[in-house]
Amino acid sequence: CRCSLPCLLRLVSAPDKWTHANGDCGGKSQSPINVVTRKTLPDARLTPFDFNNYQQIFRGTIKNNGHSVQVGVPHLSTVSGGGLPTTYKAVQFHLHWGDNGGPGSEHTIDGEQYPMELHIVHMKHHYTDLTTALSDPEGVAVLGFFYERSNSANRKYEPIINALRSIKTTNGNTSLPPVSLAQLIPAQQNLTSYYRYKGSLTTPGCTEAVVWTLFENPIPLSTEQLRTFSELKFHDGKPMVGTFRPVQPLNGRQVYRSGGAAVLASTTVLVAAVAVALGLSRPN
């Protein structure tokens, strides 16, 4: 069965019950996952991304939707390259966090859970709505970014942080000052190291139609900035904390990493050097 919005809001704090509300949440390709880096495979197709119009300034509306905060994004911003099958256009971004700056990311890396995770949701460029895109096994591409605690505030995030104080209750919304997607993520030259796998939405209906990209380089936020997210309220008035789904089984899926050619080359050189040192190499 499909879970209605009221049903979803009741289940936000009980992800272990999602399968009962929507059978898709018990699928074999669910998200999030724990990335075990030593088990990832290099993939030379995972080249640098082409971010188009990510620098574009826009005036968005930030909303407390009862289980997260979400900002709609003009479709002018697109992403391609990076091993994606086509160009994807941005739809919205939202975040997942813990309790007062504690562990809160959805994905984990070698078991490490970061304080927060940003998801920039895209759909294939020829689709006009997300519902239709989700009927395509690769219709949606989500770029995931982790956050780390910093000793100083990230000024680029001040428009977001300040707006949170105006949307503490469900359905609260306010206009953001002019922002761009580029100001919210690391510089493009720092976005070449990432992981890739096929998965799902992380909230009901958990549709398995997502090409996931998880970037290695985290975004710094001060502890105070991270704590501001915990001042928001769920639909029932309780503090909006722990807004993440637990990691799901891989069920045989493979996780790939970028920079594969460089890793393989380095390994080859190392093996050759060891062979020479041990006197194992033979003259031609």
Strands 140-150 and 116-124: antiparallel
Helix or strand holding residue 71 (H, E): strand 69-72
Q: Cα(first)–Cα(last) distance of the chain, in Å?
A: 68
Catalytic residue among 67, 94, 96, 235: 67
DSSP 233: B
Q: Are 193 and 216 in contact (CB under 8 A)?
A: yes
Distance CA 48, CA 76 (A): 20
Do residues 243 and 139 make contact, with C-beta atoms less than 8 angstroms apart?
Answer: no
Catalytic: 20?
no
Q: What are the structure tokens assigned to 161, written together?
A: 């942080």
- Catalytic sites, residue numbers: 67
